[in-house]
Amino acid sequence: MNFQEAIRSAERYVQQLQGNDYSGHGWDHIWRVRNLAIKIAEVEGGDKFIVEMAALLHDVGDPKLHHGDESKLIQLPMDFCRKIELDVTLTARILGVIQEVSFKGAKVRDENTTIESKIVQDADRLDAIGAIGIARCFYFGGHHGRELYNPDVLPQTHASYDSYRKSRGTTINHFHEKLLLLKDRMHTYTARVLAEERHLFVQKYLSQFDREWYLKD
């Protein structure tokens, strides 16, 4: 199987697995992250095949889609790479990116060991901010039965992945616990530039939300 065929096969696999997801992890998210990751890689370098495959496969094993089962994160993409008989060195590089991609809390440092990992993480995070990021947030909140906003429930600064993972706060709190922090956690210059406008939009959205909630003029 050549690179092009491996990518087509990964697209089909992810569409089949995540095509019916309405919690913010659907195929549309993967499609956008892949496009963003390629756009960033064209400027910043990195192995395009690894970037594209990791972007396509980065959420197939997301524990949130598998009842919290952390073992799926690597197991599922690894099973897929084995099934298409992808070279083991390439497989390990793709899995390395997937291992490092997810946000784990405000005070948990990112550990990106490769340029491909930085690029895919930047792309994933760009899709969590801006107009689409806001839409995904409320998608997630509705799907998981979270309150829109509650002034009595304050945002948390999560110091561990465990506390972040277990958090059940409001959707607006999630803006403070993650979305607003992402701009300053981008790794590549290209993503930092793209993040700027999306970040401003999120800030504007939050101030409008506040004006409407508290009937401010």
In the complex, the residues that contact ligand ADP under the rule CB under 6 A are 24-25, 59, 62, 64, 102-103, 124, 128, 133, 136-137, 140-141, 146, 167, 171, 174, 178
Report whether 12 contacts 79 (CB < 8 A): no
Query: Which of 18, 81, 73 shows the shortest CA–CA distance to 50?
Result: 81
Nearer to ligand ADP by Cβ, of 28 and 216: the residue is 28
Residue type, 27: W
| # binding residues, Ni ion (CB under 5 A) | 2
Give the shortest CB-197-to-ligand ADP separation in angstroms.
17
Tokens of 15: 């569409």
Nearer to ligand ADP by Cβ, of 67 and 216: the residue is 67
Report whether 53 contacts 6 (CB < 8 A): yes
Binding of Ni ion by 124 (CB under 5 A): yes
Tokens of 24: 């913010």
Give the shortest CB-184-to-ligand ADP separation in angstroms.
16
Nearer to ligand ADP by Cβ, of 13 and 103: the residue is 103
Return the SS3 of 216.
coil
Nearer to ligand ADP by Cβ, of 146 and 199: the residue is 146
Window 47-66: contact mask with Ni ion (x via CB under 5 A) = ------------x-------
Matching residue, tokens 């993040």: 195
Binding of Ni ion by 100 (CB under 5 A): no
Report whether 200 contacts 210 (CB < 8 A): no
Cα angle for residues 182, 185, 188 (degrees, 5° grid)? 115
Per-residue HEC secondary structure of 168-189 comes to: CCCHHHHHHHCHHHCHHHCCCH
Residue type, 104: K
Tokens of 140: 């997630």
Binding partner selected for residue 27 from Ni ion, ligand ADP, none, CB under the kind-specific 5 to 8 Å limit = none
Binding partner selected for residue 199 from ligand ADP, Ni ion, none, CB under the kind-specific 5 to 8 Å limit = none
* Interacting span for Ni ion (CB under 5 A) from 10-18, 66-74, 85-93, 117-125: 117-125
Give the shortest CB-179-to-Ni ion separation in angstroms.
14
Positions touching Ni ion (CB under 5 A) are 59, 124
